[in-house]
């Protein structure tokens, strides 16, 4: 309907009324059209950031209201593994890939018994998945697990805002749609910094673990025979990391996050593993204090939060990253082998490598001073794995560097049997380039001094069968 104006230039009341009636009629038709699609009837939802940035969309999970640190994951697949990764405790996760849920949910791929994230943000949610392994749709899973989710927003704009202005607290609601009310709530929400979230997702008692998902047997060979008794600290461990250890021959005993080192040593393990987990590493005091007691007595391997535990046990300092590393496309150089890995990552804090000690020039290409800007790509450009002298554990080598921002991705204690990486080598979700790190841990337990110097191109294919008779 065309609007008509009076002689004074104002739209007449009759025209406004008629236009409103026409708009209401059109809205009714739109609602009927949507109701006839897989989207069905939609309920409004709001995502509000602590700086006042607001995104309006539609609920696509359980109803409710949650607060948490807003972050984003750049993986093209693996949304179920992301949603069930305990490392996302306390966070609202944004998926950058535009459509999420199109291959549904297979419960064998979950990484924990219960999702720990606070909420989920997507551009478009698929309610009609197509995959032979799927047992339910993602919205059904979200509703079953009581996870609040929103769709229909411009995730590109949201991610750019986070990149520009950094991580911050946000509120996601399907119940309260008043911006002023939501702003008060998000202002009162707790920060991720200073909170020990590892204790909220760790198991409560010691358990053995030997699970290998049967539905993955079409692609992955049976585990190697058990050779090593490994005690794994559960700080919020992804189940697939434990599976990765089982596949290379580890007989696993999994213990709570704060288990005393004396109790672990009494089990007489061949090695100790420190797992991934959520939150601020500085707050997980009990774990890194145990790590300090274990290093030098038994081979130790740490992943993600486990890397940070070894770093803190060594007297290192942590920094809060502007927006963290989350996704399956993070390039990392192994300074020992010179090879580059595309890695899966999920962390918001990182080690300040110079805080471990002063450089040893004769082991660092003649360089005596750390770079002023802290960018560790200085070493990747020169193909040098620098070594510092640490007051607690002797020589520590920088082994891995993030090629996107020059942050530390791995260290090796040269005078102790210990090493760690900041990323997730089991590739759930993500590429398999870093699978060799499980092999490296076995080589460390075997006493191989050059355990990190592995051809990743060969190792990443080990154990894959893809439908062969052996599967």
Q: Which of 60, 304, 408, 442 is catalytic?
A: 304
Q: Are 313 and 295 in contact (CB under 8 A)?
A: yes
Handedness of CA 267, 269, 271, 273 (dihedral sign): negative
Name residue 464's beta-bridge partners.
Answer: 220
Answer whether the bond into residue 297 is a cis peptide, omega within 30°. no
Q: How far is CA 277 from CA 51, 283, 345, 400, in A?
A: 27, 12, 12, 20
Question: Can 424 be counted among the known catalytic residues?
Answer: yes
Name the phi and psi angles at 386, rounded to 5: -70, 155
Number of H helices, E strands in the chain: 13, 21
Question: Can 426 be counted among the known catalytic residues?
Answer: yes
Which tokens is 52 given?
């006042």
CA distance 301 to 413: 11
Task: Give the distance, in angstroms, between the CA of residue 49 and the centroid of all CA atoms in the same chain.
Answer: 21
Q: Which of 81, 426, 435, 442 is catalytic?
A: 426
CA distance 358 to 354: 7
- To which residue do tokens 């993070």 refer? 330
Q: Which of 307, 400, 424, 435 is catalytic?
A: 424
Collapsing DSSP to helix, strand or coil, 411 comes out as: strand
CA distance 87 to 79: 14
Task: Give the distance, in angstroms, between the CA of residue 233 and the centroid of all CA atoms in the same chain.
Answer: 18
Handedness of CA 128, 132, 134, 135 (dihedral sign): positive
Annotated binding site for L-glutamine: 87, 277, 279, 305, 308, 346, 348-349
Q: Are 35 and 41 in contact (CB under 8 A)?
A: yes
Closest CA to 298 of 233, 246, 236: 233
Closest CA to 185 of 174, 173, 197: 173
Angle at 138 between CA 132 and CA 140, to 5 degrees: 110
Q: Are 239 and 112 in contact (CB under 8 A)?
A: yes
Angle at 470 between CA 467 and CA 471, to 5 degrees: 50
CA distance 376 to 366: 16
CA distance 30 to 14: 24
Catalytic residue positions, numbered: 304, 424, 426
């Amino acid at each position: 309907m065309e609007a008509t104006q009076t002689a004074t230039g104002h739209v007449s009341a009759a025209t406004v009324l008629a236009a409103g009636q026409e708009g209401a009629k059109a809205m009714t038709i739109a609602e009927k059209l949507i109701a006839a699609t897989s989207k069905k009837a939609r309920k409004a939802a709001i995502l509000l950031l602590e700086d006042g940035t607001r995104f309006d969309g539609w609920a696509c999970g359980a109803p409710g209201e949650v607060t948490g640190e807003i972050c984003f994951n750049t993986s093209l697949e693996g949304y179920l593994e992301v949603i069930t990764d305990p490392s996302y405790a306390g966070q609202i996760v944004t998926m950058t890939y535009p459509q999420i849920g199109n291959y549904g949910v297979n419960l064998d791929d979950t990484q924990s018994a219960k999702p720990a994230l606070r909420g989920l943000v997507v551009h478009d949610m698929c309610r009609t998945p197509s995959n032979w392994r799927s047992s339910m749709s993602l919205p059904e899973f979200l509703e079953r697990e009581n996870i609040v989710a929103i769709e229909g927003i411009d995730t590109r704009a949201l991610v750019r805002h986070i990149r520009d202005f950094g991580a911050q607290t946000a509120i996601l609601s399907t119940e309260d749609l008043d911006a002023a009310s939501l702003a008060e709530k998000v202002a009162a929400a707790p920060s991720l910094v200073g909170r020990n979230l590892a204790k909220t997702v760790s198991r409560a008692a010691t358990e053995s673990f030997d699970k290998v998902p049967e539905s993955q047997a079409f692609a992955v060979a049976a585990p190697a025979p058990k050779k090593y008794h490994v005690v794994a600290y559960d700080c919020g461990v992804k189940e697939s990391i434990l599976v990765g250890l089982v596949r290379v021959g580890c007989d696993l005993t999994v213990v709570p996050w704060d288990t005393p080192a004396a109790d672990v040593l009494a089990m007489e393990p061949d090695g100790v593993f420190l797992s991934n987990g959520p939150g601020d590493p500085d707050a997980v005091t009990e774990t890194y204090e145990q790590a300090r007691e274990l290093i030098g007595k038994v081979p130790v391997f740490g992943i993600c939060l486990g890397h940070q535990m070894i770093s803190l046990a060594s007297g290192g300092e942590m920094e809060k990253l502007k927006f963290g590393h989350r996704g399956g496309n993070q390039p990392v150089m192994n300074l020992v082998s010179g090879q580059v890995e595309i890695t899966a990552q999920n962390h918001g804090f990182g080690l300040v490598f110079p805080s471990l000690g002063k450089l040893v020039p004769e082991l660092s290409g003649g360089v005596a001073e750390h770079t002023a800007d802290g960018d560790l790509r200085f070493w990747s450009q020169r193909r040098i794995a620098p070594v510092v002298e640490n007051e607690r554990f002797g020589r520590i080598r920088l082994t891995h560097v993030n090629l996107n921002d020059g942050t530390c991705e791995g260290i090796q204690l040269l005078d102790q049997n210990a090493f760690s990486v900041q990323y997730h080598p089991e590739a759930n979700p993500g590429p398999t380039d870093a699978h060799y790190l499980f092999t490296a841990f076995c080589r460390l337990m075997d006493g191989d001094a050059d355990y990190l110097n592995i051809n990743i191109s060969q190792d990443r294919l080990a154990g894959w069968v893809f439908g062969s008779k052996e599967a």
